Amino acid sequence: MLSTIYSCAVVGLDGEIIQVEVDYNPHGMPAFTVVGLPDAAVQESRERVRAAIRNSGMQFPSKRYTVNLAPANLRKEGPAYDLPMAIGVLASTDQAPLERLVGAIFVGELSLDGSVRHVGGILPIAHSARQEGFEVMYVPEEDAPQAALVPDIDVIPVRSLGHLVEHLYDLQPIPAYVRGELDTSIPPDLDGLTDFADVKGQEHVKRALEVAAAGSHNVLMVGPPGVGKTLLARALPGILPTMSLEEALEVTRIYSVADLLPADKPLIRVRPFRSPHHTVSEAGLIGGGSWPRPGEASLAHRGILFADEILEFGQHTLEVLRQPIEDKVVTISRARVALSFPANFMLVAAMNPCPCGYYGDPVRECTCSPATIRRYQQRLSGPLMDRIDIHIEVPRVNYDKLTDDRRAEPSAVIRERVEAARDRQRHRFRGEARLQSNADMGPSEIRRFCQPAPAGQQLLNTTLRQMQLSARAYHRILKLGRTIADLADSDTIEVPHLAEAIQYRPRKLLY
| Long-range pairs of 31-35 with CB within 8 A, sequence gap ≥ 24 | 31/64, 31/65, 32/65, 32/67, 33/65, 33/66, 33/67, 34/67, 34/69, 34/85, 35/66, 35/67, 35/68, 35/69, 35/72
Structural domain for 285, as ranges: 196-438
The chain-wide mean pLDDT, for the chain, equals 90
CATH number of the domain bearing residue 273: 3.40.50.300
Low-confidence ranges of the chain (pLDDT < 70): 181-187, 189, 335, 507-511
* 69 DSSP β-pair partners: 20
Q: Give yes or no: residues 410 and 326 share one domain.
A: yes
Q: What is the pTM of this model?
A: 0.90
**What whole-number distance in Å separates Cα of residue 288 and Cα of residue 52?**
34
Query: Which is nearest to 306 in space by CA: 230, 410, 399, 361?
Result: 230
**What whole-number distance in Å separates Cα of residue 379 and Cα of residue 360?**
19
Residues 48 and 82: beta-carbon distance below 8 Å? yes
- For residue 109, tell me if it sits in a domain: yes
**Final residue belonging to a domain, choices 168, 183, 204:** 168
| Helix (DSSP H) and strand (DSSP E) numbers for the chain | 21, 16
**What whole-number distance in Å separates Cα of residue 372 and Cα of residue 355?**
8
pLDDT, position 485: 95
**What whole-number distance in Å separates Cα of residue 295 and Cα of residue 400?**
43
**Final residue belonging to a domain, choices 438, 454, 483:** 438
**What whole-number distance in Å separates Cα of residue 294 and Cα of residue 317?**
16
Strands 31-35 and 64-70: parallel
3-state secondary structure of 126: helix
- For residue 458, tell me if it sits in a domain: no
Q: Give yes or no: residues 159 and 228 share one domain.
A: no
3-state secondary structure of 105: strand
Q: Count the domains in the chain.
A: 2
